[in-house]
């Protein structure tokens, strides 16, 4: 397939036909199956989906930190037009932190307990920027100020255990911003936090990225967070993208039956919901993904065709939807067979 | 910080008092001390007088206290067997044991830690698998067997190394060292390897499993996601966290190395405290046994204390919170 043509010119990040597999004794498990999406400069792309939908794996694949035996089996990833998924480890490492920052779910475990905040910031800054110790510390201090750590000058020499969860996540955000990356992959940055501070962290992240023009891939279970922060949203189901489009459109006029179910009740931000499922049943395990549309056992509108033919992403309004209900009538004549 | 040290010191004193009680009980319950001091033909009156002068007629508590005070001053009495101060005997034997034990533990550390790190980073590598197989041998073979096999190969068949003793020693004040002469170093090789092998495999396996554990943690993943080099992640972040438990175990192992040097010293006829203890047991030489017991306990307690302080220095979480107390680099 034509790759240069499919990586759109103005996109910051382009993921094309990404497929992630786990070879196991009982055959190969496909955890992410042929997904494509773009993130524009400065844009916040929300990624939602039930547990196991493949959100974290997609993020890990982008920064080249898939854990073996997981591997990218197919597809391409472009950063500012440059293909990065096949880069040697050392070159990709220089991109991590420098051009793509990361924020993980649990701030309590993201920081090394044995080193002071200062040390962890300075070491990250000096990995990517040619600053001496003094300059690096000054930058670290400025970053802590920026992420809203009160009396940062005092706190900078403290150790992680001396900070609360919310404060630690602020430090983690500062660490992700150390080298002014163009993109941040934030994997459930508020899930582990107290509900009362989730909103603060999200608005901090949103504000900072807005100021710095940083794009974010914001993975979350919380539709409230998406509604609050994201420009566009991708809904994932069984390792595929079910629907992707502008956040207002997806929320107001959800097209995919699965998205519809998700939007059944959007909780207010901060009101914690453990499960996104308002739909009967559960997402199939990787070994049991059915043929055709993976959602068909749970879909009320499923037809025979849904059980044999895999729906591809179709344009509908400003969104794209993978559902046969939205196929252009008569289709384009191409008999796209499911997953090949 | 101070409260912590004081508390640990008090605990240590308590441990030492208990050990002293056991040592003291040895005297009381293993035969009549007078019988061990005088000949068959001593009259009853003389015995009674001796009893009085030795304070054996005082109450148990008074005697125990006197024993504790004397022991604390390093006065362990006279050997029944050799009629010499136990203190002098111990001081003669201590350098041999300490040199052997410390060289062994250093050997175990400086080989065990790198091997553990290597096997955890190259989990599926050929060399890593060989290390793991060898470590199984080290863990399962008894010390004395390893010693005897080494003696057979390098001492008897190849004749490269001496099979017994300490070689030539040099006196540095009251300390005699075998580390400054060629024959002393040659004599040290086999006993040190014998004593180190078990600890080495233990440390290697401990480092490996701890390191694998640490490499799975979020902060290591996050360190990689920040773009830190492999070296910084593996050795700056992962190894330091691995070493926290390793310090503890190694410290405690040093105590048992000193204690279990007994076997190695017997196999190699190493003139250390361990062999002296074995001889004392054979001769029912209570003062020597009791002194050895107290001394080994003292080593354990002191090592424990040092380990605690090290632990405290390495792990900021143990330091008291707040008040900028975490501000030391
Ligand atoms: N090492 C592995 N071996 C086999 N399958 C794996 C492995 N790691 C992840 N998976 C599978 O890949 C799928 C996607 O995982 P991923 O972590 O991306 O889900 P997620 O969408 O982030 O879910 P969550 O919301 O729970 O974080 C899951 O079904 C998971 O079971
Ligand atoms: S393709 Fe068919 S089964 Fe899948 S969501 Fe659309 S209607 Fe339902
Ligand atoms: Mg996840």
Other C-beta atoms closer than 10 Å to the C-beta of B70 total 13
Pairing type for strands A82-83 and A319-321 reads unpaired
Residue A4 Cα, ligand 3 centroid: separation in angstroms?
Answer: 30
Average pLDDT over residues A139-153: 94
- pLDDT at position B27: 82
- pLDDT at position B203: 92
Q: Is the pLDDT of residue A333 over 80?
A: no
Provide the mean pLDDT of chain A.
Answer: 87
Phi and psi at B179, nearest 5°, equal -85, -10
pLDDT category of residue A277 using cuts at 50, 70 and 90: very low
H or E stretch at A134:
helix A133-146
Nearest Cα neighbor of A88 from A70, A64, A68 is A64
* A261 vs A250: CA distance, rounded Å: 12
Average pLDDT over residues B1-12: 84
Please list every protein residue whose CB sits less than 6 Å from any atom of ligand 2: A 256-257, 293, 295-296, 299, 301-302, 306, 311, 323-325
Query: Closest chain A residue to B219 measured between Cα atoms?
Result: A110
Of B224, B225, B316, the CB nearest to A159: B316
Average pLDDT over residues A299-313: 91
Task: Specify which of A3-7, A66-70, B26-30 reaches the highest per-range mean pLDDT.
Answer: A66-70
Sign of CA dihedral A32, A37, A40, A43: negative
On chain B, the residues whose CB falls within 8 A of the CB of A111 are 219, 222
DSSP codes, B97-144 = HHHHHHHHHHHHHHHHHHHHHHHHHTTT-HHHHHHHHHHHHHHHS-HH
ipTM over 0.90: no
- pLDDT at position A278: 60
Model pLDDT for residues B55-72, shown as the tens digit of each residue:
777 888 888 999 999 999
- pLDDT at position B5: 82
* B49 vs A163: CA distance, rounded Å: 71
A113 CB contacts (<8 Å, ≥6 apart)?
A: A159, A160, A161, B219, B241, B315, B316, B317
Does the domain spanning B89-328 belong to CATH 1.10.3720.10?
yes
Contact B241 A123 (CB under 8 A): no
Average pLDDT over residues A169-176: 95
Q: Is the pLDDT of residue A330 over 60?
A: no
Phi and psi at A50, nearest 5°, equal -65, 165
* B159 vs B209: CA distance, rounded Å: 39
Q: Whose CA is nearest to atom 31 of ligand 1?
A: A52
- pLDDT at position A26: 85
* B185 vs B175: CA distance, rounded Å: 16
Model pLDDT for residues A255-267, shown as the tens digit of each residue:
999 998 887 655 5
Model pLDDT for residues B206-247, shown as the tens digit of each residue:
999 999 999 999 999 999 999 999 999 999 999 999 988 888
Please list every protein residue whose CB sits less than 6 Å from any atom of ligand 1: A 22, 29, 31, 49, 51-57, 70, 286
Nearest Cα neighbor of A101 from A208, A178, A197, A30 is A178
* A135 vs A129: CA distance, rounded Å: 10
H or E stretch at A328:
none
On chain B, the residues whose CB falls within 8 A of the CB of A96 are 224-227
Model pLDDT for residues A193-223, shown as the tens digit of each residue:
888 889 999 999 999 999 999 999 999 988 8
- pLDDT at position A128: 96
- pLDDT at position A240: 95
CA distances from B198 to A94, A339, B229 (A): 42, 56, 34
- pLDDT at position B81: 84
Average pLDDT over residues B293-320: 85
Residue A55 Cα, ligand 3 centroid: separation in angstroms?
Answer: 6
* A107 vs A117: CA distance, rounded Å: 13
* A266 vs A282: CA distance, rounded Å: 19
- pLDDT at position B42: 77
Q: How many residues does chain B have?
A: 329
Residue A163 is classified by DSSP as: S
Query: Closest chain B residue to A61 measured between Cα atoms?
Result: B225
Share of chain A above pLDDT 90, in %: 69
pTM of the model: 0.83
Average pLDDT over residues A100-128: 94
- pLDDT at position A1: 40
Find tokens 């405690």 and name the residue. Answer: B252
Contacts of B26-35 with CB under 8 Å at 24 or more apart are: B26/B286, B26/B289, B26/B290, B26/B293, B27/B67, B27/B286, B27/B287, B27/B290, B28/B60, B30/B284, B30/B286, B31/B284, B31/B286, B33/B286
- pLDDT at position A119: 96
Residue A147 is classified by DSSP as: T
Range(s) of chain B covered by CATH 1.10.3720.10: 89-328
Q: Is B87 helix (H, G, I), strand (E, B) or coil?
A: helix
Crossing angle (nearest 10°) for helices B2-29 and B60-72: 120
Model pLDDT for residues A120-138, shown as the tens digit of each residue:
999 999 999 999 999 999 9
Cβ atoms B257, B105 nearer than 8 A: yes
Structure tokens belonging to residue A272:
């914690």
Q: Is the pLDDT of residue A271 over 60?
A: no
* B329 vs B325: CA distance, rounded Å: 11
Which runs of consecutive H residues, i.e. helices, occur in A34-116?
A: 55-62, 89-95, 107-110
pLDDT category of residue A9 using cuts at 50, 70 and 90: low
Average pLDDT over residues B303-322: 78
- pLDDT at position A215: 96
Name beta bridge partners: A35: A18
* A297 vs A284: CA distance, rounded Å: 9
Model pLDDT for residues A93-102, shown as the tens digit of each residue:
999 999 999 9
Cα–Cα–Cα angle for A151, A157, A163, nearest 5°? 65
Model pLDDT for residues A231-264, shown as the tens digit of each residue:
999 999 999 999 999 999 998 888 999 998 887 6
Cβ atoms B203, B116 nearer than 8 A: yes
């Amino acid at each position: 397939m034509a790759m240069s043509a499919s990586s759109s010119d103005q996109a910051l990040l382009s993921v094309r036909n990404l497929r992630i597999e786990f070879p196991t004794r009982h055959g190969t498990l496909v955890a992410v199956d042929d997904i494509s999406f773009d993130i524009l400069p400065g844009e916040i792309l929300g990624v939602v989906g039930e547990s196991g939908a493949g959100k974290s794996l997609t993020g890990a694949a982008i920064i080249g930190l898939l854990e073996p035996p997981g591997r990218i089996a197919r597809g391409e990833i472009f950063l500012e037009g440059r293909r990065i998924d096949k880069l040697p480890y050392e070159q990709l490492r220089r991109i991590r932190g420098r051009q793509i920052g990361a924020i993980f779910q649990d701030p309590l475990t993201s920081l090394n307990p044995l080193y002071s905040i200062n040390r962890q910031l300075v070491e990250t800054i000096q990995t990517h920027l040619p600053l001496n110790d003094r300059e690096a510390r000054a930058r670290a201090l400025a970053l802590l100020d920026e992420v809203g750590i009160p009396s940062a000058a005092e706190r900078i020499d403290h150790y992680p255990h001396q900070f609360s969860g919310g404060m630690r996540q602020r430090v983690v955000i500062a660490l992700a911003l150390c080298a002014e990356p163009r993109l941040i992959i934030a994997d459930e940055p508020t899930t582990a936090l107290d509900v009362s501070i989730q909103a603060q962290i999200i608005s901090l992240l949103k504000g900072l990225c807005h100021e710095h023009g940083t794009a974010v891939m914001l993975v979350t279970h919380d539709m409230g967070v998406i509604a609050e922060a994201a420009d566009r949203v991708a809904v994932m189901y069984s390792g595929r993208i079910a629907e992707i489009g502008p956040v207002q459109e997806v929320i107001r006029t959800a097209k995919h039956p699965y998205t519809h179910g998700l939007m059944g009740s959007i909780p207010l931000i901060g009101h914690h919901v453990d499960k996104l499922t308002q739909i009967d049943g559960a997402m199939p395990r990787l070994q049991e993904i059915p043929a055709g549309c993976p959602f068909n056992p749970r879909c009320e509108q499923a037809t025979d065709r849904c059980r044999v033919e895999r729906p591809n992403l179709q344009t509908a309004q400003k969104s794209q939807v993978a559902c046969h209900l939205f196929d252009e009538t008569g289709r384009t004549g191409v008999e796209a067979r499911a997953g090949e | 910080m101070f409260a912590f040290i004081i508390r640990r010191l008090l605990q240590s004193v308590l441990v030492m008092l208990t050990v002293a009680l056991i040592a003291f009980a040895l005297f009381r319950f293993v035969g009549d001390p007078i019988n061990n001091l005088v000949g068959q033909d001593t009259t009853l009156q003389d015995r009674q007088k001796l009893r009085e002068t030795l304070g054996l007629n005082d109450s148990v508590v008074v005697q125990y206290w006197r024993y504790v005070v004397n022991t604390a001053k390093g006065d362990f009495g006279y050997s029944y067997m050799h009629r010499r101060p136990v203190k002098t005997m111990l001081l003669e034997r201590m350098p041999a044991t300490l040199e052997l034990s410390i060289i062994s533990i250093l050997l175990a550390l400086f080989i065990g830690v790198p091997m553990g790190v290597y096997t955890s980073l190259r989990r599926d590598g050929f060399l890593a698998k060989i290390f793991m197989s060898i470590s199984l041998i080290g863990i399962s073979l008894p010390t004395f067997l390893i010693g005897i096999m080494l003696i057979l190969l390098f001492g008897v068949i190849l004749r490269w190394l001496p099979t017994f003793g300490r070689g030539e020693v040099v006196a540095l004040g009251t300390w005699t060292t075998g580390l400054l002469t060629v024959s002393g170093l040659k004599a040290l090789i086999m006993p040190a390897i014998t004593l180190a092998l078990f600890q080495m495999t233990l440390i290697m396996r401990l480092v490996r499993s701890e390191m694998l554990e640490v490499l799975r943690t979020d902060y290591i993943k996050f360190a990689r996601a920040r773009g830190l080099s492999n070296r910084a992640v593996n050795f700056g972040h992962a190894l330091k966290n691995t070493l926290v438990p390793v310090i503890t175990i190694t410290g405690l192992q040093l105590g048992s190395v000193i204690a279990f040097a007994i076997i190695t010293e017997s196999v190699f006829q190493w003139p250390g405290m361990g062999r002296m203890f074995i001889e004392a047991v054979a001769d029912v030489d209570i003062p020597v046994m009791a002194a050895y017991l107290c001394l080994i306990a003292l080593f354990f307690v002191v090592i424990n204390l040092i380990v605690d302080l090290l632990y405290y220095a390495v792990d900021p979480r143990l330091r008291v919170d707040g008040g900028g107390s975490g501000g030391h680099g």
